[in-house]
């Protein structure tokens, strides 16, 4: 257990590097894996990545381009490939189940560790506990945070049994502290008792269906309660109007995407209230 999603991703890379004895990482364009120095290296967003963070150890390829993945992994230089279950900061961009299966097969064949960053897309957000479960694959490492503590700062790394672990391999200042562990256990208890993963799927599907039927919307992407709404007009202006006039807060990504990441306990009544407000502003 660590402090944040960024730390979780850095530690996952460390595990992969120790395991393979290699140092290069394959990442995907548009990715976001956190704001610590090592995590920032794995983003190609110039607003986040400064010259200080740029190294020659990370290569970016387009998500979905399995041929580019194969070319890079064939060099034998990579310890890991890291991909988000669904890209969040990039605007709810889906990797696709077929591509995840191809990526799993390629990484296995080339002896490269597959890391699934589920920091934003995990913990029931998409209607499965982890987004990659829709594809049926099993990654080597899974990173998580955000929903893990329901607001309390905590993150974690799930590590497959074939990795050798030893004392001191990984470390973090507040890792494994009792309050963080108690918070994480309480969250899991509530998710189970209130059946929140199934609720995320049900209400998320309802929202997506209703949004797709609205005019003036170019595209609706996502799964469960991780939804991106692509509009023709200015998303920042629309989001501001939603807050000021309707008291509805939404997320954003770029100039034309509104991001929805509501609480997993949202009801269809809450969804209807949002849809009414959104339609009026749109």
Residue 235: which H helix or E strand, with range? helix 235-241
Angle at 123 between CA 85 and CA 214, to 5 degrees: 65
Quote the CA–CA distance of 89 and 266 in Å, as a whole number: 22
Q: Determine whether 276 is an active site residue.
A: no
Quote the CA–CA distance of 5 and 29 in Å, as a whole number: 19
Quote the CA–CA distance of 226 and 134 in Å, as a whole number: 14
Give the strand pairing for 113-117 and 78-84: parallel
Query: Could you give the angle at which helices 196-212 and 178-193 cross, rounded to 10 degrees?
Result: 70
Q: Determine whether 117 is an active site residue.
A: yes
**Residue of 28, 99, 117, 140 marked catalytic:** 117
**Residue of 28, 99, 130, 146 marked catalytic:** 146
Quote the CA–CA distance of 117 and 87 in Å, as a whole number: 9
Q: Is residue 87 within 8 Å of 95, Cβ to Cβ?
A: yes
Angle at 182 between CA 178 and CA 183, to 5 degrees: 120
DSSP category for residue 184: H
Quote the CA–CA distance of 239 and 219 in Å, as a whole number: 17
Catalytic residue annotation: 32, 117, 146
């Amino acid at each position: 257990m660590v402090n944040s999603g960024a730390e979780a991703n850095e530690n996952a890379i460390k595990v992969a590097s120790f395991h393979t004895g290699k140092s290069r990482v394959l990442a995907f364009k548009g990715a976001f894996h956190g704001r610590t120095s090592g995590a920032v290296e794995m983003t190609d967003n110039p607003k986040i990545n400064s010259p200080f963070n740029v190294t020659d150890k990370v290569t970016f390829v387009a998500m979905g381009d399995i041929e580019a993945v194969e070319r890079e992994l064939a060099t034998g230089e990579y310890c890991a490939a890291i991909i988000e279950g669904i890209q969040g900061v990039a605007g709810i961009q889906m990797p696709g189940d077929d591509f995840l299966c191809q990526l799993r097969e390629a990484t296995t064949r080339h002896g490269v560790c597959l890391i699934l960053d589920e920091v934003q897309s995990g913990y029931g957000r998409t209607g499965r506990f982890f987004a990659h479960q829709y594809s049926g694959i099993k990654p080597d490492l899974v990173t998580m945070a955000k929903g893990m503590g329901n607001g309390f700062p905590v993150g974690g790394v799930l590590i497959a049994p074939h990795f050798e672990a030893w004392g001191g391999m990984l470390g973090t200042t507040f890792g494994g502290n009792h309050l963080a562990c108690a918070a994480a256990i309480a969250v899991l208890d509530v998710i189970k008792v209130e059946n929140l993963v199934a609720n995320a799927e049900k209400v998320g599907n309802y929202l997506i269906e209703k949004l797709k039927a609205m005019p003036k919307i170019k595209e609706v992407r996502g799964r469960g309660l991780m939804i991106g709404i692509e509009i023709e007009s200015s998303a920042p202006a629309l989001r501001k109007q939603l807050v000021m006039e309707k008291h509805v807060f939404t997320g954003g990504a770029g100039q034309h995407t509104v991001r929805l990441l509501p609480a997993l306990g949202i009801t269809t009544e809450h969804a209807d209230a949002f849809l009414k407000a959104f339609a009026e502003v749109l």
